[in-house]
Amino acid sequence: MTINDLILIDITMNSRRLRPFFYFTIVALLMVSCKDEQPTEKQNILLICIDDLRPELNCYGVDYIHSPNIDMLAQSGVLFNNHYVNAPSCGPSRYTLLTGTYGGPSNKALFTRASQISDGNEDIQPSMPEWFNQHGYTTVSVGKVSHHPGGRGGDNWNDSTIIEMPGAWDKHLIPVGEWQHPRGVMHGLAHGEIRTVPSEMDVFQSVEGDDTIYPDGAITEEALSQIEELSADEENPFFLAVGLIRPHLPFGAPKSYYHHYEDVILPPIAHPEKPNEKTTWHKSGEFKQYNRWEKDPNVDQDFADELRRHYAASVSYADAQVGKILAELKRTGADKNTIVVLWGDHGWHLGEHAIWGKHSLFEESLHSPMIIHYPDMKNSNTKTNALVATLDIFPTLCDLAKIESPDFAEGVSLHAILANPATATGHPVIGYKSNAKTIRTKTHRLIQHKDGFVELYDLTSAASETKNVADSSPDLVLALKKDLHTKLQRRDSRLEAL
């Protein structure tokens, strides 16, 4: 109802006796109507990105992992049991998170996009933070959100003339402390040790001290400062992305976190044998570049378990940083109006298929945790088995924040799944690397190599990804290949045009 409606009705009234009651009723209705038409308060967004994080957390059913803060977030939100990334590597996975589109498999994908913007290519669509910035949000990144911590290029990733995501962030921050520069932070160990010659840096360590002796302690302190500052702005909502580096290699955390695992009896590594057929198996080159004291975890069980304990300690250290960030959000009162997404940028093999690292198209590389919480959600402390993808985060955040969702985003909003997590099924998800691509359904994974070779795995069987059943399922292979081609066709056409 509008003022014109009120005038129109008023001039049709002939009875003076009815007018006082009429005016009271109409004004009351008008006040309610005007209230309904007021724009709702925009929701802040806190995106927490964690590097190399497997869905190996207590809230995911791994009871020996000490992750009380992420577990608490899961209790206040919806945990996705079947979230998959599009690429088993930091750069292309974060490209999809931050653009809402499939890209190429290179870690330099965002820098390639930046070069295209610099060259005046008008076909480059806004990134997710840029989209929110255009809709009134203050956008800030802290730590490793895009591929380079701090979002800059150059030899030490601190060249302010080389921006990884032009136009995305009002501030993109990376405290470096003793680690000298962002590149030092990325592969830093305790007390400022940085990676110069990888073979001279230990693959794991634990050192006595507080959280600030490792880089994530500094990243978290900066994140807390940003939350305090952003939450004090009463006019503009914020989009804050915080990128934690651990448990990325080399595994390093204060010794207090390692203590959780000293006496833990670890479960056996699932399917630890190297595949004897063609797969996307690799030699774990990233892992092997570090000092391993001439030990091989594929034949040395004690060393394998020690690696797993240090990985777990790094997870607990990252969990502690998440706890501090969420506590500050609550202290400022911003938690009452903030959507929180916790996202792992990909998985990590801890000996499965005789791989130590990511970069395969097996489940271990592509499966990562995701938790979504927003104020007053009806289905908190809920898990969903729906198949979802990193690609879906951009439209989901637009939906939850009640802003326009871009037509170029290639994912789907997960709002319906958040509303009915127990019964939702989701959708097939795809992934790729330079020489192969894959599609994952509720029951199967198909991997198609560049030379045409196909792997097909029945994920409902005990053999799972250790037995290729492509030869016995030709009709399913054909259908999944067609679906995979259809889903990637838009991406391939776009990349060719660029």
Q: CB–CB of 164/153 below 8 Å?
A: yes
Residues 207 and 237 in one domain: yes
- pLDDT over 60 (residue 431): yes
How much is the pLDDT for 492? 76
How much is the pLDDT for 498? 54
Reported as a pLDDT band with limits 50, 70 and 90, residue 13 is very low
Catalytic residues: 90, 147
Q: Domain boundary residue among 398, 426, 454?
A: 426
Residues 292 and 360 in one domain: yes
CATH number at residue 480: 3.30.1120.10
What is the number of other CB atoms lying within 10 angstroms of the CB of residue 199?
Answer: 9
**What is the domain extent for residue 254?**
44-426
- pLDDT over 90 (residue 3): no
How much is the pLDDT for 495? 65
Condensed to tens digits (0 to 9), the pLDDT of residues 161-179 reads 999 999 999 999 999 999 9
Q: Domain boundary residue among 426, 461, 476?
A: 426
C-alpha distances (whole Å) from 154 to each of 29, 94, 157, 251 are 61, 19, 5, 25
Residues 357 and 473 in one domain: no
CATH number at residue 260: 3.40.720.10
Domain count, the chain: 3
Percent of the chain surpassing pLDDT 90: 88
Condensed to tens digits (0 to 9), the pLDDT of residues 363-405 reads 999 999 999 999 989 999 999 999 999 999 999 999 999 999 9
What is the number of other CB atoms lying within 10 angstroms of the CB of residue 220?
Answer: 25
Residues 140 and 226 in one domain: yes
Residues 75 and 51 in one domain: yes
Residues 152 and 199 in one domain: yes
Provide mean pLDDT across the span 438-442: 98
Residues 60 and 29 in one domain: no
Where b means 16+ CB within 10 Å and e means fewer, 168-184 reads bbeebbbbbbbbebbbb
Condensed to tens digits (0 to 9), the pLDDT of residues 207-217 reads 999 999 999 99
Residues 263 and 351 in one domain: yes
Residues 306 and 445 in one domain: no
Residues 270 and 316 in one domain: yes
Condensed to tens digits (0 to 9), the pLDDT of residues 175-194 reads 999 999 999 999 999 999 99
